[in-house]
Copies of this chain bind each other. A is one copy, B any other.
Amino acid sequence: MAGAGVVPEPTRIMVGVNESTIKGYPHASISSKGAFEWTLKKIVRSNFSGFKLLFLHVQVSDEDGFDDMDSVYASPDDFKKMNRRDMIRGVHLLEYFVNRCHELGVSCEAWLKKGDPKEVICHEVNRVQPDFLVVGSRGLGPFQKVFVGTVSEFCAKHADCPVITIKRKADEAPQDPVDD
């Protein structure tokens, strides 16, 4: 496609987004929103047609142990319902970002995946081949990092494209910095 017209292809920016640990679905995390708004303000600016945003939300899959704790109390039907509900919630989360892009006239795509977020993001980078990846970060210290996943650090190291990590602003951090 490149070279066919005068206008170059838009720069394709993948943005990894997740749900708020405080407010839950459909609310996006503080760091996801921050990374997205930073991208609009500092990269896209007023060049709305020059960029395409690719929003990826990865939901932790049932096999990752989280839901196993509830399995004593839940029938298989409950699980199906939960998965469907989660999926709908995931779509609602993505809607926030998609709507914001539509308002501005920035073209975008959004999709949902299940799995280990850091692994899936790197896998999707390989598949979709964005020009670069934007991920938010809570900006945790080394002690806090021991106990929580650091998706951004993993992606910065392993994703097969340039990665820009946007740290959450200090004045937006909740009382417990692990929250987001």
Contacts and interface: CB of A to CB of B under 8 A. Distances in A.
Contacts of A50: 45-47
A164 B43 CA distance: 12
Contact of A43 (B38, B43, B46, B165): B43
Given A42-B11, A50-B46, A162 B162 contact: no
A63 to B, nearest CB: 31
Interface in A145-160: 156
A166 interface: yes
A162 B166 contact: yes
A163 interface: yes
A153 to B, nearest CB: 9
Contact of A47 (B46, B164, B165): B46
Interface of A: 8, 11, 38, 41-43, 45-47, 50, 131-132, 156, 162-167
